[in-house]
C-alpha cells in the first residue's frame, strides 16, 4: 500500500500520483474533501492520470464531505466508485450509498438473500433509504444557493479571525495573491480550520461550549482519534500549533449573527486563555 503526501493546502499532487502508480496497482482511493481542513482534491485529474496509466485500475473517492457541498459528477470525472453518507445531507444516520460505474462487476462480501441486486444481502432499512432520497431531493433542489450561503459564512468567519490574536486559518491558499473570496471558493464551503497560538484546543473548545458555541478539535470519525492530527502534521502546521487547532463547520442554516457571536466569543476568550498556557 502506498500513501501519498499533500502540500500545505492539503492537496495531493497529480505528479506524485503518476510516479506512485505501478504495474501491479489495482485500486486508487482519494478523499474528495478533507473533513478537517476542507481541502478539495483534483479528483477528475487524478482519475484521468489513473486510467491513463492503466485503464482497469479502479478509482474510488470518499465523497462523504463532498457530496452536495461541491459539484461532483462521477461519470464526467472518471470515478468508478464513490461512497456517500446520508447524515451529511440531513438524512438519517446510518444511511448512505455507493455509486458504482455502469458495467463494473463487483463480488459481494455478504451473501444470502440477494438484496441490493445481489451486491449486499441483508434486510434493507427502508425508512432510512426513503429519508436519504428525500434529503437528496431537497438539497439538490436548491444546491447552488445553499453552497453560496455557506461560502459567504466561511468568508465571514475567516475575515473575523483577523481580529483574534494569534489566529491562523489553515489551508486557504494564503500564500497566493488572490482575493479571499476566490481563495475560499477553491475549498469546501462548510469547513474552516483555525489554529490559536498559545491556547490548547480542548481548553478553548470547552470554553466556547459554555457560551453556546460548539466546535471540534479534529475529526469526529472516531471517538479515539489521536490528540495530534495527522492531517495538520501533513500540511506542515507548526508543531506548537498542532494541539491548538479547532475545526468549525456549518450549514446553510448558520446565520450571520451566529458567525458574529462565535467570533466575539473567540476575541474574548483567546487573549484570556493564552495567559494560562502550559510552559
Digitized pLDDT (tens) for each residue of the chain, 279 residues in all: 999 999 999 999 999 999 999 999 999 999 999 999 999 999 999 999 999 999 999 999 999 999 999 999 999 999 999 999 999 989 999 999 999 999 898 888 888 888 888 888 888 899 999 999 999 999 999 999 999 999 999 999 999 999 999 999 999 998 888 999 999 999 999 999 999 999 999 999 999 999 999 999 865 554 455 567 899 999 999 999 999 999 999 998 999 999 999 999 999 999 999 887 654
36-73 tens-digit pLDDT = 999 999 999 999 999 999 999 999 999 999 999 999 99
Measured distance CA(169)–CA(37) in Å, rounded: 9
**pTM recorded for the entire structure:** 0.91
User: Domain end: 88, 113, 140, which one?
Assistant: 140
- Do 28 and 3 meet the contact criterion of CB atoms below 8 Å apart? no
> Does residue 4 lie within any of the structural domains?
no
Q: Which of 66, 45, 47 is nearest to 55 (CA)?
A: 47
Do 63 and 181 have their domain in common?
no
> Does residue 1 lie within any of the structural domains?
no
Give me the half-sphere count of Cα atoms (radius 13 Å) on the Cβ side of residue 254: 26
Do 116 and 168 have their domain in common?
no
pLDDT reported for residue 222: 47
Measured distance CA(1)–CA(109) in Å, rounded: 21
C-alpha cell at 203: 481548553
> Does residue 7 lie within any of the structural domains?
no
pLDDT reported for residue 228: 75
Segments forming the whole domain that contains residue 105: 14-140
Q: Are strands 27-31 and 245-249 parallel, antiparallel or unpaired?
A: unpaired
Instruction: Let me know how long the chain is.
Output: 279
Measured distance CA(41)–CA(62) in Å, rounded: 11
Catalytic entry in 3, 105, 221, 222: 221
Q: How many CB atoms lie within 10 A of CB 105?
A: 5
> Does residue 241 lie within any of the structural domains?
yes
- Do 2 and 20 meet the contact criterion of CB atoms below 8 Å apart? yes
In the sheet that 245-249 helps form, which strands lie side by side, from edge to edge?
167-170, 191-196, 245-249
Q: Which of 34, 19, 61, 32 is nearest to 230 (CA)?
A: 34
Q: In total, how many domains does the chain have?
A: 2
206-245 tens-digit pLDDT = 999 999 999 998 655 544 555 678 999 999 999 999 999 9
Annotated catalytic, 221?
A: yes
Do 227 and 131 have their domain in common?
no
Do 231 and 193 have their domain in common?
yes
C-alpha cell at 168: 491562523
The domain that holds 181 is classified in CATH as 3.90.1150.10
User: Domain end: 91, 124, 140, which one?
Assistant: 140
Burial, 44: exposed, middle or buried (Cβ in 10 Å; 0-12, 13-18, 19+)?
A: middle
Do 71 and 161 have their domain in common?
no
Amino acid at each position: 500500500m502506498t500513501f501519498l503526501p499533500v502540500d500545505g493546502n492539503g492537496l495531493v499532487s497529480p505528479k506524485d500520483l503518476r510516479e506512485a502508480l505501478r504495474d501491479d496497482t489495482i485500486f486508487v482511493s482519494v478523499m474528495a474533501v478533507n473533513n478537517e481542513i476542507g481541502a478539495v482534491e483534483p479528483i477528475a485529474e487524478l482519475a484521468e492520470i489513473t486510467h491513463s496509466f492503466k485503464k482497469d485500475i479502479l478509482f474510488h473517492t470518499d465523497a462523504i464531505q463532498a457530496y452536495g457541498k461541491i459539484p461532483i459528477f462521477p461519470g464526467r470525472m472518471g470515478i468508478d466508485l464513490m461512497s456517500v453518507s446520508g447524515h451529511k445531507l440531513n438524512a438519517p444516520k446510518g444511511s448512505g450509498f455507493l455509486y458504482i460505474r455502469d458495467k463494473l462487476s463487483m463480488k459481494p462480501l455478504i451473501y444470502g438473500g440477494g438484496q441490493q441486486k445481489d451486491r449486499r444481502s441483508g434486510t434493507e432499512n427502508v425508512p432510512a433509504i426513503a429519508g436519504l432520497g428525500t434529503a437528496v431531493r431537497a438539497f439538490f433542489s436548491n444546491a447552488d444557493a445553499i453552497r453560496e450561503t455557506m461560502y459567504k459564512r466561511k468568508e465571514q468567519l475567516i475575515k473575523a479571525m483577523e481580529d483574534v490574536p494569534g489566529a491562523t486559518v489553515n489551508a486557504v491558499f494564503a500564500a497566493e495573491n488572490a482575493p479571499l473570496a476566490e481563495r475560499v471558493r477553491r475549498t469546501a464551503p462548510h469547513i474552516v480550520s483555525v489554529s490559536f497560538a498559545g491556547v490548547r484546543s480542548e481548553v478553548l473548545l470547552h470554553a466556547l461550549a459554555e457560551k453556546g458555541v460548539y466546535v471540534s478539535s479534529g475529526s469526529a470519525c472516531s471517538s479515539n482519534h489521536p490528540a495530534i492530527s495527522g492531517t495538520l502534521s501533513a500540511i506542515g502546521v507548526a508543531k506548537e500549533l498542532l494541539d491548538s487547532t479547532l475545526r468549525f463547520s456549518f450549514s446553510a442554516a448558520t446565520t450571520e449573527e451566529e458567525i458574529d457571536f462565535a467570533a466575539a466569543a473567540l476575541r474574548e476568550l483567546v487573549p484570556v486563555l493564552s495567559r494560562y498556557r502550559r510552559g
